[in-house]
Amino acid sequence: MLEDVLNKMNSAQYQAATSDAKVLQILAGPGSGKTRVLTTRVAWLVKERNVDPDTILVVTFTNKAANEMRNRLQSNDLLGSDSTRLMMGTFHASCSSLLRRYGQKIGIRQNFTIADTAASGKILETVLKELPKELQIYGKPASYRTAISKAKCQALTCDMYDAEHSNDIKKQGSEKRKISIVYRAYQQELLKCNALDFDDLLMEGCNLLEKHPFIARSYRYILVDEYQDTNLVQYNLIKLLTQDNKGLTIVGDPDQSIYGFRNADISNFRKMQTDYDNVVVVNLEENYRSTTHILDAASMVIQHDKDRLPKSLFTNNCPGVPISWLTSMEADLEANAIVDEIVRLEKYSNGILNHDDFCILIRINSHSLPYETALNKAKIPYRMRGGLRFFDRAEVKDVLGYLRLTANPYDSEAFTRIVNVPKRGIGPVTVKRVRTLAEQKNLSMLEALAEVAKSGGGSDANRSLPQPTVVEMSRFLEMMSSFQALAASQTAVGIIVETVIKESNIERHLHNQYDKDGKEVFKTHWSNVEELLDFAQRFNTSSAGQDNNTSEATSSQTSTQPANESDDSDALVRFLDSTSLDLESANDEVEEGGLEWPCVFATGCEEGVIPFALCTTEKEIQEECLLCSRLLYVGMTRAEAFLYISEVNQRHNPWQQQWVECATSHFLADLPESLYQRKFPLLNASTREWLAHLLDRPLPEETSVLESEGEATYLKNDALEAQRYRSDEGEEYDVWDDYERNSSDRNRYRSY
């Protein structure tokens, strides 16, 4: 109940949740209840201030966060079924659904494709190939993409970009001139494909609201979580949505701003204070998540950010144990030691901790392999976040490619991806011909293919195609039109996806592709396809009520909308939106809980990793250092009870085939010794007691099982060959002694 939740709040939280201020900023450190306050405030607005839930928009940065908040509102009986009427979602998802509904007013077709990062990269590659060679000199497509995205995040259209840099652009061969040409060509290509990239969703969202302000009228309250991650376009969007004196509440923590590379801008906090009248600011200072030791260590690390505004943060939680500092000789041993420690903690916590209470933070994707290997060996199930998105896996993208082409036959990127998957003799030369024809005659890719197929058997020797290819082409076209018919007839997405998987014979393709690598690889990839199907089958039910950010209040003004383009007929489009807008992996979808874990391992804490070695210019180094102090800060403050800092002494450089010595990350090198110990914590009865209390879990009855295993055990860390001695219950493992003792072994590893 709302009242219970409010009663449990401290006075600052209470004030923030129940403030009558029109414009409210809640600024606070990690774990101080920002998200909790925001959720409660939504319930309070509905229950105590009678705000219609249909008019409340809650913006989060991931779909997962939105789902999580909706769940909390539902399950705590804060709002009950009213919570399904709230509009909740990411900036991108909110814009995409506005554009699907009203985009026609600004010339955007209703069935546009969302070009995700990979697709937009492909489009850029295509564009660059067709532009003069010297344009490729500025850099890889990725550098152009970064530059274009930056422009878009600063709300600059092609024309505005040119105007902004008019002097530079006049200069032949200048970087800005190149960017300007590529930006324009890229936009034209997107337009041809009937596609919008992520940044376009926001920019066009702003464009729409600017031209048709009535659309914003359906919102009365906007609430934004993780405000430190907003960029200028998102700022503008909020501004447009809150015109006419609407309610606005934002919560955030400038110290946790880690998306500078996505052009997030923390000056948005200050900008908001000047752009709005009577902004009320509430600071929350009590941390509810972590032990004193963890909080103190994290606070030391964030001091490396010299420009930050000092904030005070304290906790009434128990001091817990000092954080543990692990030094391993190299990465495999680091992973083994950590996985062994997970096993130990689970075992000696006597049931308080289990598999999902651990989080291993890895800075560089490729460093995950030793952990995956060690976890598999220990038979511990795990979930990867932030690596390759589920929807980015090749086999999943193939199926999605068919679906995208079905929904939008102009999508040349999808066409190119799947027209020869599985192989049907339609090679790059033919694809190019189809593309050219489509451009010349303004045809969709499928129409153009049909023309090529027709003319394929013709007399012109250059243009003729082998008969079997022509047959394959017709088959492909027939198949595609059957998919289109299926989608048009409002068939459930699950059935469409199933049909596509079967008819396209993607299974054969996967088999052929992985023949060499053996069955196992095929199995993994096929299981991803199955998972996608499963996701699609669940989509119809789980998506109900998510896409409701339209208001009856404005329906009279939207009567220009053709009836056949109502929400019902575009289930496939909505499904595709959810796959491209979900920045998290599909597996995370049902996961409960915010970003906090009883036990966190911050790994690879060395110079070269944190901060990353690849920065060259002074400016890059500065930015990387700022990012790293915040990354570490965010990472460390995810921990509730146990925090581990872990580093290795040497890493193998595969290019030079040699071991490179590593120094401790300078962000941690000056951590006072009172805050950490070079051993793992003792898990005895008193540890279990504070642990259960901190995590609000039942204290297990003490059993005699632990005491019966009295002898010393050996850690299966064959390099350190470290012996662990167990005290009466639990055990304490001195990492440092073992390291010293075995340091002569290090040469052994050099000869790998």
Sites of contact with ligand ATP (CB under 6 A): 8-10, 13, 28, 30-36, 253, 256, 288-289, 594-596
CB of 12 to ligand ATP, least distance (A): 10
Question: Is residue 90 a contact residue for Mg ion (CB under 5 A)?
Answer: no
SS3 state at 326: strand
Kindly list the strands in the beta sheet with 713-714, ordered across the sheet, starting from the edge strand earlier in the chain.
679-680, 731-734, 723-726, 713-714
Beta bridge partners of 653: 658
35 binds Mg ion (CB under 5 A): yes
Q: Which of 60, 113, 228, 256 is catalytic?
A: 256
- Binding-site positions: 28-35
Least Cα distance to 66 among 647, 588, 676, 552 occurs for 588
Query: Quick one: the chain helix, strand, coil %, rounded to 5?
Result: 55, 10, 30
Stretch that binds Mg ion, among 26-34, 400-408, 434-442, 542-550 (CB under 5 A): 26-34
Could you tell which of Mg ion, ligand ATP, none binds residue 32, using a CB distance below 5 to 8 A set by kind?
Answer: ligand ATP
Number of residue whose CB is nearest Mg ion: 35
Cα–Cα distance measured from residue 103 to residue 90, given in angstroms and rounded to the nearest whole number: 18
Which residues are annotated binding-site positions for ATP?
Answer: 28-35
Residue 51 three-state SS: coil
Measured from the CB atom, the residue of 76 and 455 that comes closer to ligand ATP is 76
Size of the site for Mg ion (CB under 5 A): 2
User: Of 225, 265, 330, 340, which is the active-site residue?
Assistant: 225
Q: Which of the listed partners (Mg ion, ligand ATP, none) does 33 bind, with a CB threshold of 5 to 8 Å by partner kind?
A: ligand ATP
Q: Which does 115 bind (CB under 5 to 8 A by kind): ligand ATP, Mg ion, none?
A: none
Q: How far is the CB of 595 from Mg ion (least distance, A)?
A: 7
User: Residues 638, 679, 724, 726: which is the catalytic one?
Assistant: 638
Active-site pick, 13, 25, 34, 113? 34
Nearest approach, Cβ of residue 37 and ligand ATP (Å): 7
The span of 30-38, 657-665, 712-720, 734-742 binding Mg ion (CB under 5 A) equals 30-38
Q: How far apart are CA 648 and CA 605, in angstroms?
A: 8
Could you give the C-alpha distances from 676 to 122, 232, 319, 618, 646, in angstroms and in order?
47, 40, 12, 32, 12
Minimum distance, C-beta of residue 677 to Mg ion, in the bound complex (Å): 30
- Residue 256: active-site member: yes
Indicate the residue among 60 and 528 with the shorter CB distance to Mg ion: 60
Least distance (Å) from ligand ATP to the CB of residue 246? 23
> Which residue in the list 226, 395, 398, 647 is annotated as catalytic?
226
**Nearest distance from C-beta of residue 693 to ligand ATP, angstroms:** 13
Q: Is there binding between residue 546 and Mg ion (CB under 5 A)?
A: no
Residue with smaller CB distance to ligand ATP, 610 or 634? 634
Active site residue 35: yes
Nearer to Mg ion, 310 or 593 (CB): 593
Q: How many CB atoms lie within 10 A of CB 65?
A: 21
* Smallest separation (angstroms) from ligand ATP to the CB of 13: 6
Residue 13 interface partner, choices ligand ATP, Mg ion, none, CB cut-off 5-8 Å depending on type: ligand ATP
- Taking the mean position of all CA atoms in its chain, how far away is CA 111? 24
Nearer to ligand ATP, 61 or 733 (CB): 61
Contacted entry of ligand ATP, Mg ion, none for residue 177, CB cut-off 5 to 8 Å set by kind: none
**Is residue 58 a contact partner of residue 241, using CB atoms and an 8 Å limit?**
no
**In whole angstroms, what is the distance from residue 153 CA to residue 332 CA?**
40
Minimum CB distance to ligand ATP smaller for 108 or for 251: 251
- 357 near 598, Cβ under 8 Å? yes
* Contact status, residue 606 vs residue 664, Cβ threshold 8 Å: yes
- Count other Cβ atoms within 10 Å, centred on residue 520: 9
Of residues 249 and 430, the one with the C-beta less far from ligand ATP = 249
* Most distant CA atoms of the chain, gap in Å: 90
Stretch binding Mg ion (CB under 5 A), from 35-43, 53-61, 297-305, 725-733: 35-43
Distance CA 315, CA 319 (A): 9
Q: Using the CB atoms, write b or e for 7-20: b if 16+ within 10 Å.
A: eebeebbbbbbbbe
Residues near 174 by beta carbon (within 8 Å), at least 6 away in sequence: 168
Place of tokens 């979808």: 589
Instruction: Provide, rounded to whole angstroms, the least separation between the CB of residue 24 and Mg ion.
Output: 16
- DSSP track, 441-504: HT--HHHHHHHHHHHHTSS-TTT---HHHHHHHHHHHHHHHHHHHHHHTT--HHHHHHHHHHHH
**Beta carbon nearer to ligand ATP, 13 or 234:** 13
Question: Distance between CA 208 and CA 204 in Å, rounded?
Answer: 6
Choose the contact partner of 289 out of ligand ATP, Mg ion, none; CB within 5 to 8 A by kind. Answer: ligand ATP
Q: Kindly list the residues in this chain that would bind Mg ion in the complex (CB under 5 A).
A: 34-35
Supply the residues annotated as catalytic.
Answer: 34-35, 225-226, 256, 638
